[in-house]
Every structure is written in C-alpha cells, then in structure tokens.
Chain A
C-alpha cells in the first residue's frame, strides 16, 4: 500500500448460509482514479460493495478494509458515509414526491433553532447542481425530472456529504447515450477534483473509455486488476477475464432466412395517456417479414416502448388512428388478450415491475400467458405445467435447481429466459422484445441472442428495441430509427453504422 492508495480491501470473505459469495477478494483503489469492477451477474460485485458500504456490517465478513491509510470497521451505511464513502445504487434511492433540494438534504437537514434552514438548503442545492451540470429549479419534484437527471441528483447528494470515494452501481443502465455520456464526463470531472470512483458496469465500452483500472471478479474471487493505459486493455480483454474464456464473437453466427411481409402497421398515431394534446406516436408505419429481426433504435423517451405497447393491444396511451395488418388482413387489437390471440408477444423492458410476478415460481410463470393451453375442462393441469416448464428450462438452459423455484431468486439473465419461455409458450408469430438484454451479463446476452435468432429461423418475426446500438447492429437484419414518436429512418443491416443511426435518431427527417 502506498500513499496514493485511498482504499484497500484485503482478503474479504463473505459467506451466506451454504454458499461463499466472496472468497479472499482483494481490491485496491488509488486516490483520484476511476476504478471499474467487472464480472458476470452473480460474480459477487454487489456483495463486495455492500461489504464496503457497511450494509453488511463488520463482523459479518472476514478480512480487513483500509480507508485513507486507517483500518475501518463500518457498522452501517451511516458510518461509511461519515468516512466519505457513498454508494449510489442502480435503483435510485430518491423520494419522487419530494423536491430536488429536499432529496439532496434528506436525513441531513441543516437546522437553525430547530427549524430547517431553507435559505441554506436552496443556496447549496444550486451550487451542487451547478457542479453536476444540472439546471433545474431546486423545488422541482424529483418525479418530474428524467432518470438521467435523477442520477445527477444522487451524485449531488453524495457531493453534499463531502464524498471521497463514490461507488456507482450500473450508473448508466437506465440512461440513454447522451445522458450516459454526460454522466461519464461528470465522473472524469470529479476525478480531476480528486474524488475517486468505483464503478460497476456491464457496459464495457464505457469502462474502456473512462476507467483507469479494472478489477475483475469471477465466482466470488478477484481474478486480476488491469491498468487500462499500461496494459492496453480493450473490451475483448475484459470479457476474457470475466468469463474465463474468450468470446470469439459477441453475437452467434447467423444467416437470416427472410420470408414475405406478414405484419404491417400503417400510420399509427397514439396520444399520451394523461396529457391530452401530446402525441407519443406520430404516423408511424413499419413492417416485419417472416424470419426477420427488426431493430428499433431511438433515444430513451423517443417513443419506442410507447409504440410497441400501443400496438400490443393498446396497453399504453390513447389510440388515435392507424391500422394493423396481419397476413394482409386488417385486424383490430383492442385488448392484450386480443393481441395475444392474434399472435403477438411483448417482452417488457422493465422485467421486475412489468414483466414478472416476483412472488410466483418458474413453472407457473412459464404458462401464465396461455393458461388455456394446459387447462382441461376447468382444471389447470399441473403435471402438464411442470412438464412444459421443464422443457423450456432445458431448451433455454435456465440455471435453476428446479422449476419450483421462485423467479425472484433468479439472476437477471435467467429471469429473462423465464419471461422468454412464457411468451414462446404462447406460440407467437411476432415477438416484440423491449431491451431484452438490459441488466444481463455478457455470457447470458450471447445466449439470449441465440434464442432470438432461433425464433426468427422458425419463421417468426422479431422486433428488438434496444438502447445499445452495437446490439442492434449485431442482431438486426433491418433497423428503424425513431425520434419523438415518428419513424425517421429505415436502414438495412449492411448500410447501418452507429454514426448514421445516431444521426437519424436525433434529427427528425422524412421517412426514408
């Protein structure tokens, strides 16, 4: 340990009943650097951060933590924050109904004679917001600003606690490209002011761009620490460390077998569910051919999800006008059951709050979108349910001891496989996959891509909505770009690249 080391964790071991989550993990972070922690889902990254932030108090784990040269033994989050370590979780811990200023000072309210000193609060909030590049009124409620700005509020809150080491867990997972870039720039800015950062992320391009060093964790062990500049690290190098093997390609080899157009949407216009004169889809037209994977590119809030969900049985927004044709015949899909019967399936971007009943087990989730198929008379056939779920567990290689397990216990990738099997069971003609690999690690992504390609090869149409352009470019046969609810472009696989897509996604242009 030298003078520049701000944090050293030595041989941390943390056991849960029956399993070692961390075994002999070491981590050394230099002062004023951005240190990325990489690893597959379940590798132990989050557990390590919970140890560091005091969520698992001293005594719950073995090993030593040195912070700024002194050994520390945190007993809760408060004590780690007092030392200057602040963690920002992936799921933001802001109170939507409170204002930006109130959130920043929550639990830390300055008082004068027992009364909150609002002058000080507002003044300081303005200063903090300036430091993170946020220009909003301090009294704006947090629910009224976007996710990207909420992330900035979290960072402002950390700055207010005079943070020395900032931990960011998947900071850009929910952000679009420009918000992500802003956040990364902000992190560099903090670095130059001497604030160290630990960043957990699945987005390897961001890590490559910003991190000074990278510690890779695999199966609860620290594998290696790479220095980005000295070691000449690139994405492939990181992936090799994470999975313990090299992934030749991030996308499975695939030769598309594209058939005729069978699904078409014309002039689709949908109003915002609560704001009456706002349109979330404007005159959008698109089509999907059999065996084709169609990508939808657009920035967050561009209307991709809104378009998909309004097509899926009008489950979002106020339908205004537009037509849907399936196999050349016009159909009206007013409700989700009608959409499912017509052969549509929609896998939501928000697995936990819209996609899964977390109280349920794998087998009943698998059959939940098409219970009729396993119902004899009045009775849901549970043997059949078990058999079906087993079949999908095997064919999608879902990692679970049994299909009787609760879905809440699965990792993101395996949860997504269960959601996919639920929709595959409805035997759809068109699958709409909204951010199908969000929060999923590299190895599982590869498997999900394989499943998507297999579905296409069975003659189904697949729409993939994604914020990750490399993913769309690697997977899609054709890509539509969406901007402010309108389709601004249609690009074939061979003509598409990140720059051309980004242009179409940000500047409104007549449909190609």
Chain B
C-alpha cells in the first residue's frame, strides 16, 4: 500500500477511477476470452467513442463554469448536414467543408454564448432551446434525408495514419508516436524531480519514479504494439489522434493558462471572481462558444465515420458527454472538474459499452448498467466529500492535470496534499459556524 502511495504521490484511493478502468479492461479481457485487448477492438473503441470524448472536453469546461449544454447533439447533427450538403451541392473540397463546419460551430456557440453570458439566461434554457432549434434545422435543411459525404471527409472519422518509411511490419508513425510518448514520460519525470529538489529537500527514493516510469511506459508500449500491428493499412485511428491532441491542448489551457484559471474562478464563485478582476461574461461566452465548436468537430467526425449525415445523428450525445464529465469528478454546482478526469470517465463508459457488446448484452441491459455506474460513481464521490475527505476523483485528476503531457503523466504537486489527519487542527473543526 505504502509503495503504491509513493509511486502515485497521493492517497491510493484517489486512483479509484483509473483502477476501475483497469479492472474493467482486465475483467472484459477475461470474460471475452481475450477479445477485448485486440488491435481491431481497440481501434473500434477509439473510433466509436472519440466524438463523445471530444464533447466531454468541451462539456467539462462548461460544467466547471457552472453551466450545462444540452444542445451538443443537435448542433453536431446540424453542422454535419450543412457540411455534407455544401460538399455535395457546391462541390467544395473536404478540408474546406471541415473549416466551414468549425466556423458554423463557432457561430452557433456565439449565439448560445450571447444569451447565456450577456443576456443572463440560464444555459439550461438556452441550450434546451438550441437542442430543439438545431435538431429542427438539421431536418429542415436535409429534408430529413441522409446525405453522403466524399471519401476525403471519411478520413476524419474512420481514417488511419499512412504507411511511411521502411517496411518494419509495424505502422511506423504509430510506433514513433508511442516511443515519443515514452520519451516524454521519462523527461517530465526527470524535470519534476529536478523541480522538487529545488523546492524541497525530501525526495522520494529513486525506485519510486523508476517504477512509475516503467509501469507507464509498459502500458504505452503495449498500446503502441496493439495499434501498430493491426491488419495492414490500419494504425492508431485518426479520430483518436485528434482526440489526443485536443486533450493535450485543453488540459494545458485549463491548467496552465489565465483563461483556464478564470473558468474555475467563475464557476467557484462568480462574484468573488468579478471583484478580483475576472471578466466573467467573457469567460462564459468563451466556454459556450468553445463547446459548440467542439460539437461541430464531433459531428463531422461522426459523419465521416458513418459516411453520411442523417436526421437523427447525435441524438442523446449530450447525455453521454455529461455522464462522462460527472463520472470524471466534476461538481454539478461548478468550479470542480478536469479535462483528463472527464476523458477517464468517458473511457470507463466506453469500455463498459464495448465489453458488454462483446459479451452479447443487449442495448437494454447496457443502458441499465451504464445508469447504475453513473449513479454509483457520483454517489461514491459525494459520500467521500460528505465525510470531509477530499473528492477522490477530483483529487486524482487534479494531480493528473498538473502534467503538461495531457494526462499521461501524473505530476505530483510540489507538496502532496496532506491527508485529513494532518490538517485536522482545531482551526479546522469549527471554522466559524
């Protein structure tokens, strides 16, 4: 136990969600007789869930800021149909289509942001209206028909990285990416250790970071192996790559930039933030706008994957994204949550979905199980908070978010958060009732 603590730099319970994820994978690997951890299945998992995970990235920022966005599924569908028709009828190339989609997403986001931030209508209402509005717009623009998209566009949602360089029997780019990631893990661990040495004298013994790096590298290398050795022509999927880049960018923004800080500040206490010079209206506008841009992207990836845009694309996506965010430790009242936590929450749902499908469970059972998991995960978190302990998932992901590696590298904060006992001085007990 103690050694685990040292490796992960905190309370072992904080790692409940990652542990749950690993346990789920192991469980399904065993129950499906090895069908879970195969190249094909892993590629399916990423292809089939990346758009939900992309939505979760935007959704967590919206929820941290204290809002909600119910319109993402409809916005995704509307953008998808407009882009599909633009490419079919106006003959614009796929990349211009994608740009058009993002611009349309920004426009819709500005619309939501205007009502939420500057008029002051609750986001629940604004986006509920948006949900109806853009679903209708999708069906009106497309006459409730399905519109196919060209080959190039499909690459976005179902493509693989090209084969380049010598024939190694692996997909070379995937291989390089995996190795680069391992190198980065080692480098950032080094850097952290150097920083720690600068601030505090007591460094953990050498075997701690070594074990940590070895464990992480092993996971990364195994994943690399799986993705690089699929059938010829496959590799780490393009949507997965887009997701990975977005996670890195957004984890960076939310953790390391002023804008990110301001999102947390506005969600935590809007009035206090305003009196500290935060322009909360601008922050609210930005998170709402950002959400719709990501919804547009998710919609286009889905269209690319399913090769056509249809009238019922994106139905229920908002709920999947919101569920991922809450499983990932965000608070309904705002101010709490992390990008990486939401991705882990989303992955838990995705693995569950995938594993149950492999086991042949029906859609009915799957939904029941997902509902129970959402409730239990959040109840567990709430229970821990009510016991005065820090939120497991929140703390877990806070530690993770600290890493500039977008979550692949748990970076302990300079001083690990003391446990409840350590802070239990008299001051704590009755901070002025």
Contacts and interface: CB of A to CB of B under 8 A. Distances in A.
Nearest to A50: B433
Is chain B's binding surface mostly helix, strand, loop or mixed?
Answer: helix
A89 B421 CA distance: 27
B275 interface: yes
B264 to A, nearest CB: 7
Interface in B162-207: 195, 198-199
Nearest to B404: A379
Contacts of A219: 426
B316 to A, nearest CB: 30
A372 B430 CA distance: 35
Given A355-B272, A357-B265, A412-B431, A404 B415 contact: yes
Contacts of B272: 348, 353-357
Given A386-B199, A412-B432, A378 B256 contact: yes
Interface in A20-55: 21, 41-47, 49-50
Contacts of A339: 277
A53 B68 CA distance: 40
10 contacts: A17-B424, A50-B433, A348-B272, A353-B269, A353-B272, A354-B269, A359-B336, A371-B261, A380-B256, A382-B402
Best-surrounded residue of B256, B413, B428, B432 (most CB of chain A within 10 A)? B432
B432 A439 contact: yes
Contact of A408 (B195, B258, B431): B431
A494 interface: no
Contacts of B430: 21, 41-42, 44-47
Given A359-B268, A380-B257, A404-B417, 14 more contacts: A17-B420, A21-B429, A42-B431, A44-B426, A220-B426, A336-B275, A358-B268, A364-B261, A368-B261, A399-B425, A402-B418, A404-B414, A411-B427, A411-B432
Given A402-B415, A411-B432, A357 B427 contact: no
Contacts of A332: none
Interface string B394-433: 0000000010000000000111011011111111111111
Contacts of B3: none
Given A17-B421, A21-B429, A409-B428, A355 B199 contact: no
A169, A358, A378, most chain B CB atoms within 10 A: A378
A47 B257 CA distance: 41
A24 to B, nearest CB: 15
Contact of A404 (B265, B276, B413, B420): B413
Contacts of A364: 261
B421 A372 contact: no
A429 B279 CA distance: 22
Shortest 10 CB-CB distances between A and B: which pairs?
Answer: A357-B268, A46-B433, A18-B421, A18-B424, A19-B424, A357-B269, A46-B430, A369-B276, A21-B429, A359-B268
Interface of B: 195, 198-199, 256-258, 260-261, 264-265, 268-269, 271-277, 279, 335-336, 402, 413-415, 417-418, 420-433
B335 A399 contact: no
Contacts of B415: 402, 404
A129 B415 CA distance: 55
Contacts of B199: 383, 386
Contacts of A71: none
A346 B275 CA distance: 8
B249 to A, nearest CB: 11
